[in-house]
Amino acid sequence: MAESITITDNRTGESLEVPILNGGVAASEWSKLLPGVWFYDPGFMSTAVCESAITYLDGEAGVLRYRGYPIEQLAEHSTYLEVAYLLLNGELPDTAQFDDWRREVTMHTFIHENVRKRFLDGFHYDAHPMGMLVSAVAALSTFYLDAKDIFDPLSRAKQITRLIAKMPTLAAAAHRFSVGMPFVYPDNSLDFASNFLSMMWKVAEPRFEADPALARALDILFILHADHEQNCSTTAMRVVGSAHADPYSACAAACAALYGPRHGGANEAVIRMLTEIGNLDNVPAFVEGVKAGNGRLQGFGHRVYKSYDPRAKIIKRTADQVFAVTGKNPLLDIALKLEEIALSDDYFVSRKLYPNVDFYSGLIYQAMGFPLEMFPVLFAIPRTAGWLAHWQELLDQDSRIARPRQLYVGTDEREYVPVERR
């Protein structure tokens, strides 16, 4: 007999046995016994919204796998473009498949001149690059009218390639605009990460040569951020996608979710916190302040991970490789001390608060020269692969439109009162 639970409606005495499948019980079964009684689950704390074969996450054990491959192996041996292919197609590409994929992505890195000249150049001079990215991604849907054909396999593949390819171009363009520098066209002789660094930093040199260690470090960060199952922005992508919006509009919604400081902004909060702490001597007092309820230790704790975030371990190693080129970020010592104290303090240990992916990623980005405003943008570039993989999976599952219920707690029916009598 498969595992199951039995629900009893104490109002009627009726019972129903519900099987536990893949770690869940189907709400449709529950509704058979209790129509009109809804699960109350704000923040989806206990709700699985879909079946997915993309990413496996065990927060207790600190395990993260894309399509079955451990994140540690992908970070060590793979590239972001290969990982994007894996997420989207379910399998690692062979040599010919990868060459085709890389060529396709490389051919689509340019953006329509009007996107830049008419659209991006129209922003206010101090526009936030993430706000520009959200809008620019949405605007792409008006340039590719075939994007609406979401059930045409050729159109779908083309929009996916375009989005993966154009995100770095849009991201770098948003940065260049925000600092008053001219736009840099993609250099299609460069790999994905090096091309992005060229579009970010090129000044007057004929060809921008990124330091290979920095390009590799960025590529590793892209791999680590490529997917994280049903996080807030992926859920936004799935909800909008379930209405059969085109992928650019759905992706813009996902970007907008990532713009929120609770999601894409935590590494920026880490840098601000470390800067505020200022020096090593202030660390113990800061930790005591957190324990007393004065704010949180940014970059610590996670809704799902209740052990060391496996991505944080990889990032910590990557940081050393970056600092060997850029020089050590002066905030690193404060971060290490903070981690050391927190990991031996019962307050953090008993609550299972460990460093998450954001604890060290901001230090790397800052050492590489990225301004704080670019941190969520750097997250959005690789997460696009995950968003699109989930969007595709959702469409292939012929899923229904996302439409949760609510528990109404407002006033009962009442008569309209004309304004002069209120």
CB of 103 or CB of 303, closer to ligand ACO: 303
CA terminus-to-terminus distance, the chain: 64
What burial letters (b/e) apply to 238-254, b meaning 16+ CB within 10 Å? Answer: bbbbbeebbbbbbbbbb
Per the DSSP assignment, residues forming a β-bridge with 66 are 55, 69
Cα distances (angstroms) measured from residue 191 to each of 57, 112, 205, 269, 365: 29, 21, 18, 31, 19
CB of 195 to ligand ACO, least distance (A): 25
Q: 3-class SS at 200?
A: helix
In the numeric block, which tokens belong to residue 347?
């307050």
| Residue 311 in contact with ligand ACO, rule: CB under 6 A | no
The one catalytic residue among 58, 187, 263, 345: 263
In order, the DSSP letters of 396-415 are HTTPPPP-------S-----
CB of 305 to ligand ACO, least distance (A): 8
* Dist. CA 351–CA 51, nearest whole Å: 29
| Residue 303 in contact with ligand ACO, rule: CB under 6 A | yes
Rounded to a whole number of angstroms, the CA Rg of the chain reads: 24
CB of 199 to ligand ACO, least distance (A): 25
Contact segment (CB under 6 A) with ligand ACO among 115-123, 215-223, 348-356, 401-409 equals 348-356
| Residue 296 in contact with ligand ACO, rule: CB under 6 A | yes
CB of 297 or CB of 331, closer to ligand ACO: 297
Of positions 90, 351, 369, 405, contacts ligand ACO by CB under 6 A: 351
CB of 66 or CB of 85, closer to ligand ACO: 66
DSSP 295: S
In the numeric block, which tokens belong to residue 192?
């994905």
CB of 81 or CB of 342, closer to ligand ACO: 342
Q: Which residue has the tokens 């301004």?
A: 371
* Dist. CA 344–CA 339, nearest whole Å: 9
How many other C-beta atoms lie within 10 A of the C-beta of residue 334?
22
Of positions 170, 266, 277, 394, contacts ligand ACO by CB under 6 A: 266
| Residue 382 in contact with ligand ACO, rule: CB under 6 A | no
Contact segment (CB under 6 A) with ligand ACO among 207-215, 281-289, 329-337, 354-362 equals 354-362
**Residue 358 known to be catalytic:** yes
CB of 246 or CB of 358, closer to ligand ACO: 358
**Residue 333 known to be catalytic:** no
CB of 259 or CB of 300, closer to ligand ACO: 300
The one catalytic residue among 191, 302, 309, 390: 302
* Dist. CA 197–CA 186, nearest whole Å: 10
Residues with a catalytic annotation lie at 263, 302, 358
Q: Which parts of this chain interact with ligand ACO (CB under 6 A)?
A: 263, 266, 290, 296-303, 351, 353, 356-358
